[in-house]
Homo-oligomer: A and B are copies of this chain.
Amino acid sequence: MSFYPPSLVNLIKQLSKLPGIGEKTAERLALHILRGSVKDAQALAESISEAKETVRLCSVCYGLADSDPCHICRDATRDQDVVCVVEQGTDMVALEKSGAFKGRYHVLQGCLSPMNGVGPDNLRIRELVERLKKGKIKEVVVATGTSVEGESTANYLRQVLEGSGVKVTRIASGVPIGGDLKYTDALTLKRALDSRHCL
């Protein structure tokens, strides 16, 4: 490594801190940046600083935002009665991409995971309860993942929100669209059968 100029060695070191980027890949990326134009390198450097400076958590929904409240929480055309609870900001983006939800969100910033020391106090559950107390919200759609942690977070939320007068629902789980039954795992098939509905 010491055969490269120190500033290049430093760039390789910084790039290799990124997830999934080893030393060899970092070397390749660094040399690509050096081969490119000064303008491209500056654009990359500035986009990192700018994103880090401007992107904050929305104080209402705790999603990624560059304004507070975020554009979804500010949007008066969206359904204000329904709040969708998700684990991460990326889950919110996935739901937005689907275009299937027109209400607002609440990002927990994780899910219950005693193994990793994540308890209810580490998530934005208290903030959700506070939000519900304001009385505008009539339904909470729990859209945490269908992993063990996601399911137990959903169950915990059901207990916490019981008696709050708010309807608590859970997204359906079952065979994915386009999925082949023979490749679907037993647990998913069991869930799909349990949740069967009239045609």
Q: A residues engaging B (CB < 8 A)? A: 3-8, 10-11, 13-15, 17-21, 25, 27-34, 38, 40-55, 64-67, 70, 89-90, 92-93, 96-97
The residue that A47 contacts in the complex, of B11, B46, B53, B65, with Cβ under 8 A, is: B11
Cross-chain contact A44 with B14 (CB below 8 angstroms): yes
Residues of B within 8 A of A34 (CB): 51-52, 55, 64
Are A3 and B93 within 8 A (Cβ)?
A: yes
Task: With CB as the reference atom, state the residue of chain B lying closest to A28.
Answer: B19
Asked if B47 contacts A7 (CB within 8 A), the reply is: yes
* Nearest-CB residue, chain B, relative to A41: B52
Q: How far is the CB of A80 from chain B (nearest CB, A)?
A: 19
CA distance A7 to B51 in the complex (A): 5
**Which of B4, B8, B38, B54 has a CB less than 8 Å from the CB of A7?**
B54
A19 to B5, CA, bound (A): 22
Report the bound CA distance from A15 to B47 in whole Å: 9
- B49 contacts A41, CB within 8 Å? yes
**Do B44 and A5 touch (CB < 8 A)?**
no
Tell me the bound Cα distance from A33 to B21 in angstroms.
Answer: 13
Contact of A29 among B8, B19, B55 (CB under 8 A): B19
Cβ-closest chain B residue relative to A95:
B3
Q: Which 4 A-B pairs have the closest CB atoms?
A: A5-B66, A41-B52, A11-B51, A3-B96
Residues of chain B within 8 A of A66, CB atoms compared: 5-8
Complex interface: chain B residues within 8 A of A52 (CB): 33-34, 38, 41-42, 45
List B contacts of A54 (CB < 8 A): 5, 7
Q: How far is the CA of A7 from the CA of B60 in the complex (A)?
A: 20
